[in-house]
């Protein structure tokens, strides 16, 4: 009932403000009945006073999303048993009748495929790494490796959407949008949520803007995609002969017209529009300063790899992510495409690793040497894992792997996570033996690290309060330092 009452009064407020026809008495009554009705002009201001709920360990997030699902069995989750049983059938007791994708469910055989890569342990915590990611392996002591992630979706779109928004259907706000909504931007000249895309040579799976959508939140919280060209934010530069002063005047006039429209119609999106123009105006100054990678010293170029100077590469995006993050962007979301190795995995994964290995490690190293790693949470992982059995023809040293949602590996660094290796899968890398971490748990934990209690961080939409973690999720205390 409360919602209806509040809605009604909301409508009245607009009427009062524009026409003042109902008088002050009604206003007073309204504010008596719903305390706080006139307190704050928007939800964001309300939240700014409540969040973070408690002391955050991470102020910012850089999420290196490995789109297409990298094979945990060829990178982090070392399973000698699979090499020993290479070519033998996946035991029914392991698969246990669990569902498969349409791509392999009709296969007559499910021959186990042992990794072709050599593995070695690195660092004090004894994490196993494949030879194809030597640089990431060298950062072992900084990494919190979770080998026991699992998800509910088995195909890319729902799995990606689930990881990004906490639901498989694409109508909910993305993680970054929630963070933008709850914590706002540290630097008011940059969007709180930025998105960077890159693509490897491996089998491609697309990304789509619904993954960084604001859902039912105000559209100011939508992820701002930086394009891969030499002008990362399109149409940001002024046309010739327009100076900043003129621009200011134009924007002021437009804003006053918009204010007028808002008073008449009361559509909150109009206010958003005004804010977006203002942000864009300020971004005109801030963005070129940050996105120009030319002035980075040579040692940094070496660290990220020389590809980092070519716009649109994963390396360039990692470097850009550091610069955005150090300039106060709350949530930088990268996507690197091409990990969907259904076939020819050994060759494809080498190419993908070549793209991401050096830059991912460099990002951690770079944040650390600037004293920023402890307040920045870096996340590396895909939307699910890959099967221990071969998709298509298995030979001595070539194989493909299908989607595997039941156990896979992601890692995090900095921002209050505990370095170490957590969770364990069975000898076949198929099922989880200890510390299962569901996607909801992952979200709850990331939110916790940002100082947000995921159960109390809600948005009311169509009569229901929504959370990033829906009605589930628990904080995984084991991985928090």
Partner 1 sequence: MDIKKLIRQGEWCIWFLNPLLLLLVIYSETSKTNNVLLWLGKLHPLVLHFPIVLGIAIVIYFLFFQNNKLEENTEKLILVGNALLATIVAILGLLLSKQDAYDTATLNLHKWGGLSIAFISWLFIYSKNIAGSFKKIIALAYLWVLLFFTHQGALLTHGENALSMPAAAVVKAEEVKKVDSSLTVYEKAIEPILAQKCVSCHGPEKVKGQLKLQSPEFIIKGGKDGNILTNFHNGEALLLQRIHLPNADEKHMPPDGKLQLTLEELTLLSKWVKAGGNFTKKISELAKTDSLAILAMAYKAPVKGGGDTKNKAPDLKQYNSSYLTVNYLFNGSEEIAVNFFQSSFYKKEQLANLVKIKDKIVNLNMQGMPVTKEDLAIILQFTKLKKLNLNYTKLTLNDLEPLKSITSLTNLSICGMDVNQNSLTKFLEKAPFTEINIWTNHSNEKEFQQLSASNKKVKIIIGDNLDTEIIKLTSPIIEQDSSIIVTSLDVVVKHFLKGTVVRYTTDGKEPDSLTSPIYSKKLRFTKNTILKTRAFKPGWLSSDVVQKTFYKSDIHPDSIYFVTNPDKKYPGTGAKTLIDYELGEQNFSNGKWLAYRDTMMKFVIGFKEMRPLHEAHFNAFVDNGAYIFPILSIMIEGSNDGKQFRKLNEARFPSLEKTEVVRENKSFSCRIPGEAAYKFYRFTLLNLKKLPKWHPGKGTPAWIFVDELFLN
For partner 1, the binding residues (CB under 8 A) are 49-56, 186-189, 201-204, 282, 285-286, 289, 293-294, 297-303, 305-307, 309-310, 326-328, 342-344, 347-348, 350-351, 365, 368-371, 391-393, 395, 398, 400, 451, 453, 455-456, 475, 477, 480
Q: Give min distance, CB of 467 to partner 1, in A.
A: 12
Q: Give min distance, CB of 132 to partner 1, in A.
A: 13
CA distance linking residue 124 with residue 254, whole number of Å: 59
Q: Give min distance, CB of 370 to partner 1, in A.
A: 5
Rg, the chain, Cα only = 24
Q: State both tokens at 306.
A: 């020389």
Nearer to partner 1 by C-beta: 25 or 297? Answer: 297
Q: Give min distance, CB of 403 to partner 1, in A.
A: 15
Longest dimension (CA), the chain: 84
Nearest residue to 217 via CA among 259, 255, 169, 184 = 184
Nearer to partner 1 by C-beta: 363 or 407? Answer: 363
Nearer to partner 1 by C-beta: 47 or 128? Answer: 47
Nearer to partner 1 by C-beta: 307 or 383? Answer: 307
Q: Give min distance, CB of 93 to partner 1, in A.
A: 28
Nearer to partner 1 by C-beta: 132 or 151? Answer: 132
Q: Is the CB of residue 353 less than 8 Å from the CB of residue 115? A: no
Q: Give min distance, CB of 402 to partner 1, in A.
A: 11
Q: State both tokens at 264.
A: 């008449």
Nearest residue to 414 via CA among 201, 144, 175, 148 = 144
The beta-strand segments (E) located in 235-357 are 331-337
Dihedral sign computed on CA atoms, order 142, 147, 153, 154: positive
Q: Is the CB of residue 179 less than 8 Å from the CB of residue 455? A: no
380-389: burial string, b at 16+ Cβ within 10 Å, e else: bbbbbbbbbb
Nearer to partner 1 by C-beta: 340 or 383? Answer: 340
Nearer to partner 1 by C-beta: 122 or 164? Answer: 122
Q: Give min distance, CB of 249 to partner 1, in A.
A: 18
Q: Give min distance, CB of 55 to partner 1, in A.
A: 5
The alpha carbon of residue 298 and the mean position of all alpha carbons in its chain are separated, in whole angstroms, by 29
Dihedral sign computed on CA atoms, order 467, 469, 470, 472: negative
Nearer to partner 1 by C-beta: 89 or 397? Answer: 397
CA distance linking residue 149 with residue 165, whole number of Å: 16
Q: Give min distance, CB of 306 to partner 1, in A.
A: 4
Q: Around 320, how many Cα atoms within 13 Å sit in the side-chain half-sphere?
A: 33
Nearer to partner 1 by C-beta: 269 or 289? Answer: 289
Q: Give min distance, CB of 32 to partner 1, in A.
A: 9
Nearer to partner 1 by C-beta: 94 or 283? Answer: 283
Nearer to partner 1 by C-beta: 171 or 369? Answer: 369
Q: Give min distance, CB of 162 to partner 1, in A.
A: 25
End-to-end CA distance of the chain: 44
Secondary structure letter of residue 188 according to DSSP: T
- Which residue(s) pair with 193 in the sheet? 331
Nearer to partner 1 by C-beta: 157 or 375? Answer: 375
Name the 3-class secondary structure at 26: helix
C-alpha distances in Å from residue 164, one per residue of 25, 313, 325, 332 = 47, 22, 19, 13
CA distance linking residue 180 with residue 186, whole number of Å: 10
Orientation of helix 268-291 relative to helix 314-326, angle to 10°: 110
Q: Give min distance, CB of 344 to partner 1, in A.
A: 6
Q: Give min distance, CB of 265 to partner 1, in A.
A: 28
Nearest residue to 456 via CA among 440, 442, 441, 444 = 444
Helix (H) or strand (E) holding 403: strand 401-404
CA angle 31, 35, 37 (to 5 degrees): 65
Q: Is 229 buried (19+), middle (13-18) or exposed (0-12) by CB count in 10 A?
A: exposed
Nearer to partner 1 by C-beta: 133 or 293? Answer: 293
């Amino acid at each position: 009932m409360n919602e209806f009452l509040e809605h009604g009064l909301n409508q009245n407020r607009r009427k009062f403000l524009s026409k003042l026809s109902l008088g002050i008495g009604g206003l007073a009554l309204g504010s008596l009945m719903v305390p706080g009705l006139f307190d704050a002009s928007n939800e964001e201001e309300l939240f700014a006073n409540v969040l973070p709920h408690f002391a955050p360990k991470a102020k910012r997030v850089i999420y290196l999303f490995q789109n297409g699902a990298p094979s945990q069995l060829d990178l982090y989750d070392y399973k000698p048993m699979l090499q020993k049983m290479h070519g033998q059938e996946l035991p029914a007791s392991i698969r246990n009748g669990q569902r498969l994708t349409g791509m392999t469910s009709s296969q007559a055989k499910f021959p186990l495929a042992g990794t072709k890569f050599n593995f070695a342990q690195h660092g004090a915590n004894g994490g196993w790494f494949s030879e194809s990611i030597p640089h990431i392996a060298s950062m072992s002591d900084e990494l919190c490796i979770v080998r026991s992630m699992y998800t509910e979706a088995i195909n890319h779109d729902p799995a990606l959407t689930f990881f990004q928004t906490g639901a498989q259907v694409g109508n909910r706000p993305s993680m970054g949008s929630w963070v933008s909504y709850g914590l706002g931007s540290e630097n008011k000249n940059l969007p709180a949520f930025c998105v960077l895309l890159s693509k490897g040579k491996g089998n491609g799976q697309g990304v789509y803007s619904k993954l960084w959508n604001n859902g039912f939140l105000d559209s100011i919280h939508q992820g701002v995609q930086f394009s891969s060209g030499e002008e990362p934010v399109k149409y940001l530069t002024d046309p010739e002969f327009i100076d900043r002063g003129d621009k200011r005047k134009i924007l002021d006039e437009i804003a006053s017209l918009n204010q007028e429209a808002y008073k008449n119609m009361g559509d909150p999106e109009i206010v958003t529009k005004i804010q977006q123009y203002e942000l864009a105006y300020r971004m005109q100054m801030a963005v070129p300063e940050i996105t120009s990678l030319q002035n980075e010293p040579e040692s940094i170029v070496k660290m990220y790899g020389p590809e980092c100077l070519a716009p649109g590469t994963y390396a360039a995006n990692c470097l850009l992510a550091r610069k955005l993050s150090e300039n106060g962007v709350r949530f930088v979301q990268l996507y690197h495409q091409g990990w969907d190795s259904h076939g020819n995995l050994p060759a494809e994964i080498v190419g993908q690793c070549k793209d991401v290995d050096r830059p991912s490690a460099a990002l951690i190293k770079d944040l650390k040497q600037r004293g920023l790693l402890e307040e920045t949470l870096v996340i590396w992982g895909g939307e699910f894992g890959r099967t221990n059995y071969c998709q298509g023809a298995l030979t001595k040293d070539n194989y493909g792997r299908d989607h595997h949602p039941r156990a896979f590996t992601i890692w995090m660094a900095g921002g209050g996570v505990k370095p170490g290796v957590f969770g364990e899968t069975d000898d076949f890398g198929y099922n989880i033996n200890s510390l299962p971490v569901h996607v909801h748990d992952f979200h709850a934990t990331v939110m916790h690290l940002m100082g947000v209690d995921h159960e109390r961080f809600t948005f009311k939409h169509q009569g229901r309060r929504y959370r990033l973690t829906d009605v589930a999720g628990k904080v995984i205390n084991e991985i928090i330092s």
